[in-house]
Amino acid sequence: MKINFKLFATFLAVADNGSFRKAAEQTHLSLPAVSMQIKQLEEGLGVAVFQRTTRKVELTREGEELMISTRKAMAELDGALARIQQAAEMQHGQLSLGCVPTVAGTRLPALLVKFAKTYPAISVSVRELSQPELLEAVRRREVDFGIGPMPEKTGELEFQPIFVDDSVALMPATLVASDKTTISLRELARLPLPLLSLGTSQFQRQLNQALADEGVAPELSYMVTHVSTLVAMAEAGLGICIMPAMAAPPRTPLKALRIVRPALPRTIAIMTIRGHTLSPSAARFVQLCDMLAPPAPTAAAARKRAA
Protein backbone atom coordinates (compact mmCIF):
# COMPACT_ATOMS: atom_id res chain seq x y z
CA MET A 1 0.00 0.00 0.00
CA LYS A 2 1.07 3.60 -0.55
CA ILE A 3 2.11 5.57 2.49
CA ASN A 4 -0.64 7.93 3.64
CA PHE A 5 0.44 9.92 6.67
CA LYS A 6 -3.08 11.08 7.40
CA LEU A 7 -4.22 7.48 7.87
CA PHE A 8 -1.33 6.70 10.20
CA ALA A 9 -1.89 9.88 12.21
CA THR A 10 -5.54 8.94 12.65
CA PHE A 11 -4.54 5.38 13.55
CA LEU A 12 -2.25 6.67 16.34
CA ALA A 13 -5.00 8.97 17.62
CA VAL A 14 -7.43 6.02 17.94
CA ALA A 15 -4.74 3.84 19.53
CA ASP A 16 -3.80 6.55 22.07
CA ASN A 17 -7.38 7.30 23.06
CA GLY A 18 -8.87 3.80 22.75
CA SER A 19 -11.86 5.49 21.21
CA PHE A 20 -12.98 6.57 17.74
CA ARG A 21 -14.99 9.43 19.19
CA LYS A 22 -12.10 10.85 21.23
CA ALA A 23 -9.79 10.43 18.23
CA ALA A 24 -12.25 12.44 16.14
CA GLU A 25 -12.21 15.24 18.69
CA GLN A 26 -8.39 15.23 18.85
CA THR A 27 -7.91 15.26 15.08
CA HIS A 28 -10.81 17.65 14.42
CA LEU A 29 -12.43 15.10 12.10
CA SER A 30 -15.97 13.77 12.07
CA LEU A 31 -16.56 10.33 13.58
CA PRO A 32 -17.49 8.85 10.16
CA ALA A 33 -14.29 10.28 8.68
CA VAL A 34 -12.18 8.60 11.37
CA SER A 35 -13.98 5.29 10.82
CA MET A 36 -13.48 5.58 7.06
CA GLN A 37 -9.73 6.27 7.40
CA ILE A 38 -9.21 3.27 9.71
CA LYS A 39 -11.18 1.13 7.25
CA GLN A 40 -8.95 2.32 4.40
CA LEU A 41 -5.85 1.51 6.46
CA GLU A 42 -7.05 -1.99 7.27
CA GLU A 43 -8.08 -2.68 3.70
CA GLY A 44 -4.67 -1.54 2.48
CA LEU A 45 -2.87 -3.72 5.01
CA GLY A 46 -5.20 -6.68 4.57
CA VAL A 47 -5.55 -7.16 8.36
CA ALA A 48 -7.55 -5.61 11.20
CA VAL A 49 -5.63 -3.27 13.47
CA PHE A 50 -8.37 -2.79 16.07
CA GLN A 51 -10.74 -5.07 17.95
CA ARG A 52 -14.02 -3.20 18.35
CA THR A 53 -16.64 -3.87 20.99
CA THR A 54 -19.51 -1.78 22.28
CA ARG A 55 -17.37 -0.78 25.27
CA LYS A 56 -13.84 -0.31 24.03
CA VAL A 57 -11.41 -0.35 21.13
CA GLU A 58 -8.24 -2.41 21.46
CA LEU A 59 -5.27 -3.02 19.22
CA THR A 60 -4.85 -6.37 17.57
CA ARG A 61 -1.43 -8.03 17.58
CA GLU A 62 -0.81 -6.61 14.11
CA GLY A 63 -2.09 -3.26 15.32
CA GLU A 64 0.41 -3.23 18.20
CA GLU A 65 3.27 -3.98 15.82
CA LEU A 66 2.06 -1.23 13.49
CA MET A 67 1.81 1.25 16.37
CA ILE A 68 5.43 0.62 17.43
CA SER A 69 6.72 1.04 13.88
CA THR A 70 4.54 4.07 13.22
CA ARG A 71 5.72 5.85 16.36
CA LYS A 72 9.36 5.25 15.38
CA ALA A 73 8.73 6.51 11.87
CA MET A 74 6.86 9.58 13.09
CA ALA A 75 9.63 10.35 15.58
CA GLU A 76 12.24 10.11 12.81
CA LEU A 77 10.13 12.36 10.59
CA ASP A 78 9.58 14.90 13.37
CA GLY A 79 13.32 14.92 14.07
CA ALA A 80 14.18 15.43 10.41
CA LEU A 81 11.68 18.27 10.09
CA ALA A 82 13.07 19.89 13.23
CA ARG A 83 16.63 19.66 11.91
CA ILE A 84 15.61 21.12 8.56
CA GLN A 85 13.79 23.96 10.32
CA GLN A 86 16.80 24.64 12.54
CA ALA A 87 19.08 24.68 9.49
CA ALA A 88 16.74 27.14 7.77
CA GLU A 89 16.82 29.30 10.89
CA MET A 90 20.65 28.92 11.08
CA GLN A 91 20.46 27.20 14.49
CA HIS A 92 22.80 24.46 13.31
CA GLY A 93 24.43 23.20 10.14
CA GLN A 94 27.70 22.97 8.29
CA LEU A 95 29.21 24.14 5.04
CA SER A 96 32.36 23.43 3.08
CA LEU A 97 34.01 25.93 0.76
CA GLY A 98 37.09 26.06 -1.41
CA CYS A 99 39.20 29.17 -1.93
CA VAL A 100 42.30 30.14 -3.89
CA PRO A 101 45.34 31.07 -1.73
CA THR A 102 45.44 34.76 -2.68
CA VAL A 103 41.91 35.23 -1.30
CA ALA A 104 42.22 32.75 1.58
CA GLY A 105 45.38 34.41 2.86
CA THR A 106 44.14 38.00 2.67
CA ARG A 107 40.39 38.74 2.73
CA LEU A 108 38.78 35.44 3.79
CA PRO A 109 39.80 35.41 7.50
CA ALA A 110 37.83 38.59 8.31
CA LEU A 111 34.78 37.13 6.59
CA LEU A 112 35.09 33.88 8.56
CA VAL A 113 35.25 35.85 11.81
CA LYS A 114 32.14 37.82 10.83
CA PHE A 115 30.23 34.67 9.88
CA ALA A 116 31.24 32.86 13.09
CA LYS A 117 30.02 35.76 15.23
CA THR A 118 26.73 36.02 13.33
CA TYR A 119 26.06 32.27 13.05
CA PRO A 120 28.03 30.58 15.86
CA ALA A 121 26.19 27.24 15.46
CA ILE A 122 27.33 26.76 11.84
CA SER A 123 30.48 24.71 11.28
CA VAL A 124 32.65 25.94 8.39
CA SER A 125 35.28 23.87 6.59
CA VAL A 126 37.75 25.66 4.26
CA ARG A 127 39.97 24.05 1.63
CA GLU A 128 42.76 26.18 0.15
CA LEU A 129 43.13 25.12 -3.49
CA SER A 130 44.74 26.31 -6.69
CA GLN A 131 42.30 27.51 -9.33
CA PRO A 132 42.28 24.24 -11.36
CA GLU A 133 41.89 22.19 -8.18
CA LEU A 134 39.11 24.50 -7.01
CA LEU A 135 37.14 24.15 -10.23
CA GLU A 136 37.43 20.36 -10.02
CA ALA A 137 36.38 20.30 -6.35
CA VAL A 138 33.24 22.30 -7.19
CA ARG A 139 32.45 20.04 -10.16
CA ARG A 140 32.77 16.95 -7.97
CA ARG A 141 30.69 18.60 -5.21
CA GLU A 142 33.52 18.10 -2.73
CA VAL A 143 32.73 21.65 -1.55
CA ASP A 144 29.45 23.56 -1.44
CA PHE A 145 30.98 26.38 -3.50
CA GLY A 146 34.29 27.95 -4.44
CA ILE A 147 35.80 31.43 -4.30
CA GLY A 148 38.35 32.24 -6.97
CA PRO A 149 39.13 33.73 -10.39
CA MET A 150 36.69 33.10 -13.21
CA PRO A 151 38.14 30.89 -15.96
CA GLU A 152 37.83 31.72 -19.64
CA LYS A 153 35.38 28.84 -20.16
CA THR A 154 32.67 28.37 -17.54
CA GLY A 155 31.41 24.94 -18.65
CA GLU A 156 28.82 23.49 -16.29
CA LEU A 157 29.67 25.95 -13.52
CA GLU A 158 27.93 29.20 -12.63
CA PHE A 159 29.86 32.27 -11.48
CA GLN A 160 28.69 35.17 -9.33
CA PRO A 161 31.26 38.00 -9.65
CA ILE A 162 32.32 39.68 -6.42
CA PHE A 163 35.00 42.15 -7.52
CA VAL A 164 37.74 42.75 -10.07
CA ASP A 165 41.32 42.45 -8.85
CA ASP A 166 44.03 44.44 -10.63
CA SER A 167 47.67 43.42 -10.98
CA VAL A 168 50.65 45.20 -9.49
CA ALA A 169 54.42 45.12 -9.82
CA LEU A 170 56.49 45.15 -6.63
CA MET A 171 59.99 46.57 -7.02
CA PRO A 172 62.61 48.61 -5.16
CA ALA A 173 61.48 52.22 -4.82
CA THR A 174 64.85 53.38 -6.19
CA LEU A 175 63.93 52.11 -9.67
CA VAL A 176 61.03 54.53 -10.27
CA ALA A 177 60.01 58.10 -9.55
CA SER A 178 58.36 58.66 -6.17
CA ASP A 179 55.13 59.98 -7.71
CA LYS A 180 54.74 57.15 -10.19
CA THR A 181 51.70 54.86 -9.50
CA THR A 182 51.36 52.84 -12.70
CA ILE A 183 53.67 51.01 -15.08
CA SER A 184 53.37 49.17 -18.39
CA LEU A 185 54.76 45.76 -19.24
CA ARG A 186 57.19 47.31 -21.72
CA GLU A 187 58.57 49.61 -19.02
CA LEU A 188 58.98 46.64 -16.67
CA ALA A 189 60.90 44.69 -19.29
CA ARG A 190 63.43 47.55 -19.60
CA LEU A 191 64.24 47.64 -15.88
CA PRO A 192 67.54 46.08 -14.75
CA LEU A 193 66.05 43.37 -12.53
CA PRO A 194 64.48 40.16 -13.91
CA LEU A 195 60.79 39.39 -13.48
CA LEU A 196 59.97 36.74 -10.88
CA SER A 197 57.50 34.03 -11.90
CA LEU A 198 54.59 32.35 -10.14
CA GLY A 199 55.13 29.10 -12.02
CA THR A 200 52.09 27.56 -13.71
CA SER A 201 49.29 29.49 -12.02
CA GLN A 202 46.40 30.88 -14.04
CA PHE A 203 47.67 34.37 -13.28
CA GLN A 204 51.11 33.50 -14.62
CA ARG A 205 49.58 32.12 -17.82
CA GLN A 206 47.66 35.38 -18.23
CA LEU A 207 50.86 37.36 -17.66
CA ASN A 208 52.84 35.23 -20.12
CA GLN A 209 50.20 35.76 -22.80
CA ALA A 210 50.17 39.52 -22.19
CA LEU A 211 53.97 39.64 -22.46
CA ALA A 212 53.84 37.66 -25.70
CA ASP A 213 51.15 39.96 -27.10
CA GLU A 214 53.38 42.95 -26.31
CA GLY A 215 56.35 41.28 -27.98
CA VAL A 216 58.25 41.33 -24.70
CA ALA A 217 60.52 38.44 -23.66
CA PRO A 218 61.78 39.26 -20.13
CA GLU A 219 64.30 37.22 -18.21
CA LEU A 220 62.59 34.74 -15.86
CA SER A 221 65.31 33.48 -13.54
CA TYR A 222 63.20 32.03 -10.73
CA MET A 223 59.90 30.10 -10.72
CA VAL A 224 58.10 29.72 -7.39
CA THR A 225 54.69 28.56 -6.20
CA HIS A 226 53.75 30.82 -3.29
CA VAL A 227 53.26 34.57 -3.28
CA SER A 228 55.10 34.90 0.03
CA THR A 229 58.21 33.36 -1.56
CA LEU A 230 57.89 35.69 -4.52
CA VAL A 231 57.73 38.75 -2.26
CA ALA A 232 60.65 37.55 -0.15
CA MET A 233 62.80 37.15 -3.27
CA ALA A 234 61.87 40.60 -4.52
CA GLU A 235 62.67 42.12 -1.12
CA ALA A 236 66.04 40.38 -1.25
CA GLY A 237 66.77 42.14 -4.54
CA LEU A 238 66.46 39.10 -6.82
CA GLY A 239 63.91 40.67 -9.17
CA ILE A 240 60.59 42.39 -9.76
CA CYS A 241 57.44 40.44 -8.98
CA ILE A 242 54.07 40.86 -10.67
CA MET A 243 51.07 39.61 -8.75
CA PRO A 244 47.36 40.15 -8.07
CA ALA A 245 46.88 43.40 -6.17
CA MET A 246 45.04 41.76 -3.29
CA ALA A 247 48.03 39.46 -2.69
CA ALA A 248 50.48 42.35 -2.26
CA PRO A 249 51.61 42.60 1.39
CA PRO A 250 50.48 45.76 3.20
CA ARG A 251 53.89 46.28 4.78
CA THR A 252 56.91 45.91 2.52
CA PRO A 253 59.83 48.14 1.52
CA LEU A 254 58.91 47.48 -2.11
CA LYS A 255 56.88 49.98 -4.15
CA ALA A 256 53.64 48.72 -5.69
CA LEU A 257 52.71 50.03 -9.16
CA ARG A 258 49.47 49.10 -10.90
CA ILE A 259 50.02 47.35 -14.23
CA VAL A 260 48.60 49.21 -17.25
CA ARG A 261 48.93 48.93 -21.02
CA PRO A 262 47.79 46.23 -20.87
CA ALA A 263 45.97 45.91 -17.57
CA LEU A 264 45.85 42.42 -16.12
CA PRO A 265 42.57 42.22 -14.21
CA ARG A 266 40.95 39.05 -12.93
CA THR A 267 37.38 38.65 -11.73
CA ILE A 268 36.97 36.96 -8.34
CA ALA A 269 33.67 35.10 -8.18
CA ILE A 270 31.57 32.58 -6.30
CA MET A 271 31.50 29.35 -8.30
CA THR A 272 28.78 26.70 -8.04
CA ILE A 273 27.33 23.86 -10.09
CA ARG A 274 24.87 25.25 -12.62
CA GLY A 275 21.33 24.88 -11.29
CA HIS A 276 22.53 23.72 -7.85
CA THR A 277 20.71 25.23 -4.86
CA LEU A 278 22.93 26.14 -1.93
CA SER A 279 22.08 25.05 1.60
CA PRO A 280 20.74 27.80 3.91
CA SER A 281 24.11 28.15 5.66
CA ALA A 282 26.05 28.29 2.38
CA ALA A 283 23.59 30.83 0.95
CA ARG A 284 24.02 33.08 4.01
CA PHE A 285 27.82 32.88 3.68
CA VAL A 286 27.64 33.85 0.02
CA GLN A 287 25.50 36.86 0.95
CA LEU A 288 28.39 38.12 3.09
CA CYS A 289 31.03 37.63 0.39
CA ASP A 290 30.85 41.28 -0.65
CA MET A 291 33.19 41.76 2.32
CA LEU A 292 35.92 40.19 0.18
CA ALA A 293 35.96 43.18 -2.16
CA PRO A 294 38.65 45.80 -1.48
CA PRO A 295 37.46 49.06 0.07
CA ALA A 296 36.29 51.69 -2.38
CA PRO A 297 39.03 54.27 -3.08
CA THR A 298 38.62 57.81 -1.87
CA ALA A 299 37.98 60.57 -4.43
CA ALA A 300 41.61 61.72 -4.20
CA ALA A 301 42.91 58.18 -4.62
CA ALA A 302 40.58 57.60 -7.55
CA ARG A 303 41.92 60.74 -9.33
CA LYS A 304 45.49 59.68 -8.69
CA ARG A 305 44.70 56.17 -9.92
CA ALA A 306 43.08 57.50 -13.10
CA ALA A 307 46.10 59.67 -13.80
Asked if residue 305 has pLDDT above 80, the reply is: no
CATH (residue range 167-264): 3.40.190.290
Q: Give the pLDDT band (50/70/90) at residue 208.
A: confident
Between the CA of residue 186 and those of 98, 141, 180, 190, 276, what are the distances in Å? 36, 42, 15, 7, 44
Helices then strands, counting H and E runs in the chain, come out as 12, 12
pLDDT at residue 125, as a whole number: 95
Whether the predicted pLDDT of 306 surpasses 80: no
Q: Is the pLDDT of residue 89 over 80?
A: no
Q: What is the pLDDT of residue 298?
A: 43
Check residue 261 and give its pLDDT: 87
| pLDDT at site 236 | 92
pTM for this one?
A: 0.67
Q: Classify residue 172 as left (phi > 0), alpha (psi -120 to 50) or beta.
A: beta
The listed CATH number (3.20.20.80, 3.40.190.10, 2.40.50.140, 3.90.1640.30) that belongs to domain 97-164+270-294 = 3.40.190.10
Looking at CATH, the fold of the domain delimited by 5-88 is given as Arc Repressor Mutant, subunit A (1.10.10)
Is the pLDDT assigned to residue 67 strictly greater than 80?
A: yes
- Confidence band of 295 (pLDDT split at 50, 70, 90): confident
Q: Which residue has the higher pLDDT, 217 or 235?
A: 235
The answer to whether 5-88 and 167-264 have equal CATH topology is no
Residue type, 274: R
243, 230 Cβ separation under 8 angstroms: yes
Can you give the pLDDT at residue 14? 92
**At a CB cut-off of 8 Å and minimum separation 6, what does 180 contact?**
257
Confidence (pLDDT) at 300:
44
- Whether the upstream peptide bond of residue 132 has omega within 30° of 0, thus cis, is no
Distance CA(230)–CA(233), nearest Å, equals 5
Domain boundaries, the chain: 5-88, 97-164+270-294, 167-264
59-68, 166-175, 215-224: the lowest-pLDDT one: 215-224
